[in-house]
């Protein structure tokens, strides 16, 4: 079993529009030691981050109100400097390149492996 545990107190902003996936990822991250603030829409997540700072971002690429890259650009424009991980069910070299240029630390393919997500947030 993978035993990596996140440092206590790291706050993750999780943005995923699929309720089942969002809840599963929230439980996985909480089990791994993260504090999680989960949102279905980018707009509510951006508003929440402005009110209560977060350390890390885990965002789906395809969201209802914008894409994950656009969301990260908005956060960066507001001064947020944390580590960001993009998730996608449709990976491509072009998407990966765009995400890395936008400031994502990594791009992970769905379904996510627990160890890959935790490693991307803590390494």
The CATH number assigned to the domain holding 89 equals 3.40.50.2300
**Does residue 114 fall inside a structural domain?**
yes
Encoding tokens for residue 33?
A: 């030691």
Q: What pLDDT does 7 receive?
A: 66
Q: Which domain holds residue 106?
A: 11-122
**Does residue 2 fall inside a structural domain?**
no
Whole-model pTM: value is 0.93
Question: Can you give the pLDDT of all 123 residues of the chain as single tens digits?
Answer: 334 555 678 999 999 999 999 999 999 999 999 999 999 999 999 999 999 999 999 999 999 999 999 999 999 999 999 999 999 999 999 999 999 999 999 999 999 987 999 999 998
**Does residue 4 fall inside a structural domain?**
no
**Does residue 94 fall inside a structural domain?**
yes
**Does residue 113 fall inside a structural domain?**
yes
**Does residue 107 fall inside a structural domain?**
yes
**Does residue 57 fall inside a structural domain?**
yes
CB-based contact 46:20 (threshold 8 Å): no
**Does residue 37 fall inside a structural domain?**
yes
Count of domains forming the chain: 1
Give helix then strand counts, H and E, for the chain: 5, 5
Which is nearest to 56 in space by CA: 96, 84, 81?
84
What does the DSSP 8-state code read for residue 7?
P
């Amino acid at each position: 079993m993978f035993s990596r545990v996140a440092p206590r107190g790291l706050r993750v902003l999780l943005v995923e529009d699929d309720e089942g996936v969002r809840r599963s990822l929230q439980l996985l991250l909480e089990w791994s030691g993260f504090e999680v603030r989960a949102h279905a829409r980018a707009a509510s997540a951006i508003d929440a981050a402005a009110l209560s700072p977060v350390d890390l971002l885990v965002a789906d690429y395809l969201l209802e109100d914008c894409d994950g890259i656009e969301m990260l650009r908005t956060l960066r424009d507001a001064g947020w400097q944390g580590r960001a991980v993009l998730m996608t069910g449709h990976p491509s070299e072009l998407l990966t390149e765009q995400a890395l240029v936008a400031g994502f630390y990594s791009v992970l393919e769905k379904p996510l492996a627990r160890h890959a997500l935790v490693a991307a947030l803590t390494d």
